Amino acid sequence: SFSIGKQESAKWNPGAIGGSPSVTYTDGPKTLVVTLVCVKNETDELEALGEATTNNYKMRLTNKCACWDGCG
């Protein structure tokens, strides 16, 4: 196993207008981008989307806590 990002490296990206926010983590040459998807139901899903290009990993987190108004 290996690390694809360290918690202390987290960088917030609010996303473009109409786009999704994300959090990016790094560890050396490796980068993980977690795209946040807002849903108003009880969906709890973390989807590993794989290695888009060498050392660049993507995941998608779908949850009501990913909404701009928080977990409410």
CA 32/CA 19 separation, integer angstroms: 18
> Which residues, 6+ apart, have CB-to-CB distance to 13 below 8 Å?
21, 22, 23, 24
Q: Flag whether pLDDT at 53 surpasses 80.
A: yes
Name the pTM for this structure.
0.90
Q: Give the confidence band of 36 by pLDDT, cuts at 50, 70, 90.
A: very high
**For 11-23, how does the pLDDT look when each residue is reduced to its tens digit (9 = 90+)?**
999 988 888 999 9
Pairwise CA distance, residues 53 & 15, whole Å: 21
